[in-house]
A and B are shown apart, each in its own frame.
Chain A
Amino acid sequence: MTSADFYYLMPLIILAGASIIMLLVIGFYRDHKVTFVLSLLGLAGSFISLMFIQGLPGQIGALLIVDSYALFYWGLITLASLAVAILSYSYFSKMDEEKEEYYVLLLTATLGSMVLVVSRHFISFFMGLEILSVSLYALIAYLPERKRSVEAGIKYLVLAAASSAFLLFGMALVYAESGTMDFTKLGAHINSGAVNAPLLLTGFALMVIAVGFKLALAPFHMWTPDVYEGAPAPVTAFVATVSKGGMFALWFRFFVEVNGYRFHSLVILFTVIAIASMFIGNFLALLQNNIKRILAYSSIAHLGYLLISFLAGGRMGLEAGTFYLVAYFITILGSFGIVAVLSFTERDADNMDDYRALYWRRPFLATIFTAMLMSLAGIPLTAGFLGKFYLAAAGINTALWLPVIILVINSAISVYYYLKIVVVMYRAPDEEVVAGMPVVTVSPALSVGGGIVLSVLTIMLIWFGTFPGGIIDFIKTMISGLSSVAITMVP
């Protein structure tokens, strides 16, 4: 390891260092605000250090590679964690629990996700995944006084451990067949043609289980609604964005490097998973009455949409997927941010009734939530619309007619449950008086930090939806760092 490697890994080192410092500080002086500020400094420092990384791509041993593709995802992940941390502050100020360790866990989870982004080897892949998962177990069950919190944590623990086992077994099979755990060498081995395909494919398929679990794709989605519902709202936002984003970045890199597109059965497998995720996510979302569960199922569907970019492959697919993920990050952070901001001390604001006539009580929050929901539904003027457009474009460009048509049908279905929330928010308050329902008037005040984060997210949502030129160009230059050899080989 040379000193140059330290430059490349500076964002990771800052995060790791920050979490250790925080632990030490907590040991001596336990204070919510201090820990919070330290975590912000860590995340912001990590983000700022991204700008100083030069001489890409930088390879660190056999395990990690820092290219501009990774830098983009690192930036996305740190910013998302920053937003989650700020939202968490006002959320946890209301709680009685010890809340300092929460930020440490948040930082380590972010670290795990960032390791995933830069891994190019099974070892670092697994390491990153475990750093992420172990932190998440604790984060999800962070408020044990609540009814579903521990249930959600245990559920995630058991299922994540099982999926890790599948992952390990899959990796072992791939290793047994190819004799390497390095993505690039694996790709070279596959391209050489002398492959025992059944063994290799079994290995890949087992790995897909773990990936599908992390991305909450059907049929590995069972944990999603319960965990989303049971976890504290900021953690839910984190699970839905940062953990999925890191995994998606890794899997795209892996698939491109090993050129998985040459295996027709894998492509079919992913097509099936994509279609199943879209339908299952949307249909089950129709049946829900709990906001967090609706968003959980809708995120399953959205990851299904996202898979279209993956199936399309190539430069355009990667661009579309990245753009979609950016839009998805913004909307999901915004939506769960609203839930977090509105939450009470004893429970999260996930009941439909909490949103009744929200527009007439809290017009600012209701307008933002409407914008977020419209983006999820893919209505113009929002980033979600352009994301869907990009996906459809990538899909049509590679003649993926079936997934694109199913995307269209599902977008239409999904409109129903997003509108259901919107309708509740705009329902006139006087109707409730007539109906004898209690009018919810007490809801927590909006903190400055929460307000800023939500406003910034909304501005980005509209900005990327109306003038996406800048961000698209940026994505284009950043992702071009990803192994150009393999990208051009894809259809």
Chain B
Amino acid sequence: MILLWLVIILMLGGIAAWIAAKWNVMLARWISLIATLVDFALVIMIWAENSSGVKLGANAPWLIDFRWNWIPAFGITFHMALDGMSLLLILLTAFIGVLSVLTSWTEIEYRAGFFHFNLLWILAGITGVFLSLDLFMFYFFWEVMLIPMYFLIGIWGHENRIYASFKFFIFTQASSLFMFVAIVALYFIHGKNTGVYTFDYMQLLGTVLSPTAEMWLMLGFLIAFVVKLPIVPLHNWLPDAHTEAPTAGSVVLAALLLKTGAYGILRFVIPLFPHAARDFQIPGMILGAIGIIYGAILAFAQTDFKRLVAYTSVNHMGFVMLGAFALNELALQGVVMQMLCHGISTGALFILVGALYERIHTRDLNKMGGFWDEIPRMGAVGLVFALASLGLPGLGNFIAEFLTLTGSFMANNWITAVATVGLVVSTIYSLRIMARVFYGRKPKAEKHIPDFNVREMVIMSALILAILWLGIFPHPVLDTSRPAINNIVKEASRGSMSEMKKEVQPFKEKSPELAGKSEKGGAR
């Protein structure tokens, strides 16, 4: 029930803020801040209750499980559950949620009530996505977060916002429809095999599929997640959406929305379609590697500060793809770390860009330079997160990338070796941010720029503490996600067990050969 409250509090808070803004805009801001804070407190409470290793392992797979019949005619249940991985992700959601409300404290003056409504509903949708264990409900929340995000970009964005919001909407909507078809197909295949028509994740896990069907269904799911992630040929919407969105929108997009794609791969693609995921291992890892290098190079080539940060997401999410398809515990742990660290570091960079834009009204790197003397606090914060995004040891991203690369090296050394090149390029672009914005000579006739104020320093300190904590003392996080990751690995390993598969599906002639191939591609 507490899981349901997490979503409901945000939704109600959004409606209340919308109504409250009719009388007082500050009231709307406070309501949204309180709603997100309450959510954050609840998640911390859940974590505190379940943090000990005994509980995490004992309650496996789910720490909290909530189920309610929603549409019995179709076997649709309202099923929410939480394991270590989703716990960490809703923790991130609540954390970033609080910060994004704080960030937009002064930025949004126009129709602030409706803005906060949209912001909170996005957060509610994302929380729902991370908690849903019914595929129908998952799709439902997957779409719920789409419309408010569209409004956020389309109403409060920058110059080119209409174009960006359309592109965002159509890319995500079109891709998620393929997932929708795959979900329904899976539902019917499972129903015809067993006579039980259900969308419940736990029951669909063991669905027996022919190799072709499995591959197609997996691709249907994957395309939705890969667009959200995004992976290179389908990343096109991201730079536009991130650049045009208001600061809070960019933060939520980068820190949370992209994670839903990663989460989908881990939670659904791999466990539901283990054989297909194994067959797709090499292409998946190659796509990840391409994303890493391509994103880094393009980030380097940008002159728009916000666009640059947007492309770093492409670069970082490449690691997620690479690690996810490595299909071993080390890499998957790295992926979870990467999700958290990218959420924090990129969120921070977007807040920095937004703050800078509020002050100098440009995002053009060519019009910046030498700001360190005037705004040393911003410079220092910028330095921390530039270093985080290049993966400096001591900061969270290093742990994440290290784990991912180690894990994927075990799976496929050549692809990983190539992907590592991306690290070098990411060092270059990160340092370029510092060099362009804070060092060098200040362009002439620039009026005085105020430094971070107290509110902004509070936001930034929270983020810096988080990234440092993840970098120096990642154990609580890794322990929390381990049982969940182990479950995924266990499901994935079904993909390489050819004997079992042959027993279950005697009618498939090709099965031993296929399974043999996937074993060769596998890790061990």
Binding site for B on A (CB under 8 A): 360, 374, 379-381, 385, 389, 392-393, 396-397, 404-405, 408-409, 411-412, 415-416, 419, 423, 426, 428, 467-469, 472-473, 476
Q: In the bound complex, how far is the Cα of B183 from the Cα of A392, in angstroms?
A: 10
Complex A-B: 7 CB contacts under 8 Å: A404-B181, A408-B178, A409-B174, A415-B174, A426-B155, A469-B70, A472-B73
Residues in B174-199 with C-beta less than 8 Å from chain A: 174, 177-178, 180-181, 184-185, 187-188
Chain A's closest residue to B143 (CB) is: A380
Stretch of B165-173, B381-389, B515-523 that contacts chain A: B165-173
Once A379-B147, A380-B139, A469-B71 are accepted as A-B contacts, the answer to whether A412 and B184 lie under 8 Å apart by CB is no
Once the chains bind, are B173 and A392 in contact (CB under 8 Å)?
Answer: no
In the complex, per-residue mask of B3-39: 1 if CB is within 8 Å of any chain A CB, else 0: 0000000000000000000000000000000000000
Flag if A393 contacts B147 (CB, 8 Å): no
CB–CB A389/B169 < 8 A = no
- Which of A379, A408, A416 contacts B170 (CB under 8 A)? A416
Tell me how far the C-beta of B223 lies from the nearest C-beta in chain A, rounded to whole angstroms.
11
Q: Cβ of A408 and Cβ of B150 under 8 Å apart?
A: no
Query: How far, in angstroms, from A151 to B136 measured CA to CA in the complex?
Result: 47
Contact of B140 with A by CB under 8 A: yes
> What residue in chain A is nearest B151 (Cβ atoms)?
A426
Find A415's partner among B155, B173, B188 (CB 8 Å cutoff). B173
Residues on A with beta carbons closer than 8 Å to the beta carbon of B110: 428
- Cβ A389 vs Cβ B180 within 8 A: yes
Give Cα distance in the complex from A392 to B186, angstroms.
12
Cβ-neighbour of A379 out of B73, B143, B166, B188 (below 8 A): B143
Is B72's beta carbon under 8 Å from chain A?
yes
Flag if A476 contacts B146 (CB, 8 Å).
no
Contacts of A385 in B (CB 8 A): 143
Q: Known contacts A393-B188, A469-B72, A473-B73: does B174 contact A412 (CB below 8 Å)?
A: yes
- Please name all residues of chain B whose beta carbon is closer than 8 Å to the beta carbon of A476 when the two chains form the complex: 73
Q: Which residues on A sit within 8 Å (CB–CB) of B74?
A: 393, 472
Q: How far is the CB of B479 from chain A (nearest CB, A)?
A: 36
Docked Cα-Cα span, A393 to B191, in Å, equals 12
Bound Cα distance A411, B169 (Å):
12
Contact of B155 among A381, A396, A397, A428 (CB under 8 A): A428
B178 (CB) vs chain A CBs: closest residue: A408
| Min CB–CB distance A250 → chain B (angstroms) | 26
B121-163 interface mask toward A, CB cutoff 8 Å, 1 = contact, 0 = none? 0000000000000001001100110110011001100000010
User: In the assembly, what is the distance between CA of A442 and CA of B71, in Å?
Assistant: 44
Cα distance, A379 to B181, chains bound together (Å): 14
Known: A381-B144, A469-B72. A415 touches B170 (CB 8 A): yes
Task: List 13 additional contacts besides A360-B111, A380-B140; criterion CB under 8 Å.
Answer: A380-B143, A381-B140, A392-B180, A396-B181, A397-B188, A408-B178, A408-B181, A415-B173, A415-B174, A423-B154, A423-B162, A426-B151, A469-B73
A416 touching B178 in the complex, CB below 8 Å, given contacts A468-B71, A469-B72, A473-B73: no
With the chains together, A374 CA to B71 CA distance in Å?
21
Contacts A408-B178, A423-B162 given: A415-B169 contact, CB under 8 Å?
yes
**Which chain A positions have C-beta within 8 A of B70?**
467, 469
Q: Which of B296-311 contact A (CB under 8 A)?
A: none
A-binding residues in B (CB < 8 A): 70-74, 110-111, 136, 139-140, 143-144, 146-147, 150-151, 154-155, 162, 165-166, 169-170, 173-174, 177-178, 180-181, 184-185, 187-188
* Residue in contact with A396 in the complex, picked from B170, B174, B184, CB distance below 8 Å: B184
Alpha-carbon distance between A404 and B182 when the two chains are bound, in angstroms? 11
Q: Say whether, besides A380-B140, A428-B155, A473-B73, A411 and B188 are in contact (CB < 8 Å).
A: no
B173: A residues at CB distance < 8 A: 411-412, 415
Cβ–Cβ contact B150 & A419, under 8 A: yes
* A419, B169: Cβ atoms closer than 8 Å: yes
Kindly state the separation between the CA atoms of A411 and B178 in the bound complex, as whole angstroms: 11
With the chains together, A412 CA to B180 CA distance in Å? 12
Q: Tell me, rounded to whole Å, the shortest Cβ–Cβ distance linking A401 to chain B.
A: 9
**Contacting residue for B188 out of A396, A419, A426, CB 8 A:** A396
Asked if B187 and A393 sit within 8 Å, CB to CB, the answer is yes
A392 touches B184 (CB 8 A): yes
A139 to B73, CA, bound (A): 41
CA distance in complex: A204, B187 (Å) = 36
Do the beta carbons of B71 and A412 come within 8 Å of each other?
Answer: no
B224 to chain A, nearest CB (A): 12
Complex-state Cα separation, A408 to B181, whole angstroms: 8
Q: Which residues of A contact B165 (CB under 8 A)?
A: 423
| Contacting residues, chain A, for B111 (C-beta < 8 A) | 360
Query: How many Å lie between the Cα of A217 and that of B74 in the bound state?
Result: 30
* A392→B147 CA distance, assembly (Å): 22
Q: Is the CB of B177 within 8 A of A412?
A: yes
CB neighbours (8 Å) of B150 from chain A are 419
Contact A374/B147 with A469-B70, A469-B71 known, Cβ cut-off 8 Å: yes
User: Which residue on B lies nearest to A381, using beta carbons?
Assistant: B144
Which A residues are in CB contact (< 8 Å) with B136?
389
* Known contacts A381-B144, A392-B184, A428-B110, A472 near B71 by CB under 8 Å: yes
Give bound CA distance, A380 to B143, whole Å.
6
Question: Using Cβ atoms and an 8 Å threshold, which residues of chain B touch A428?
Answer: 110, 155
Nearest chain B CB to A466 CB, angstrom units: 9
Docked Cα-Cα span, A415 to B174, in Å, equals 9
Question: Is the Cβ of A380 less than 8 Å from the Cβ of B154?
Answer: no
Q: Which residues of A contact B71 (CB under 8 A)?
A: 467-469, 472
Complex contacts, B166 vs chain A, CB 8 Å: 416, 419, 423
Q: Is the CB of B185 within 8 A of A396?
A: yes
A412: chain B residues at CB < 8 Å are 170, 173-174, 177
Residues of the A chain whose Cβ atoms lie less than 8 Å from the Cβ of B139: 380
Q: In this complex, what residue of A is CB-closest to B189?
A: A396
The residues of A that contact B180 with a CB separation of less than 8 Å are 389, 392, 408
Q: Could you tell me the distance between the alpha carbons of A416 and B136 in the complex, rounded to whole angstroms? A: 24
Contact at A426–B146, with CB atoms within 8 Å?
Answer: no
Residues of B within 8 A of A423 (CB): 154, 162, 165-166
The residues of B that contact A408 with a CB separation of less than 8 Å are 177-178, 180-181
* A416→B170 CA distance, assembly (Å): 7
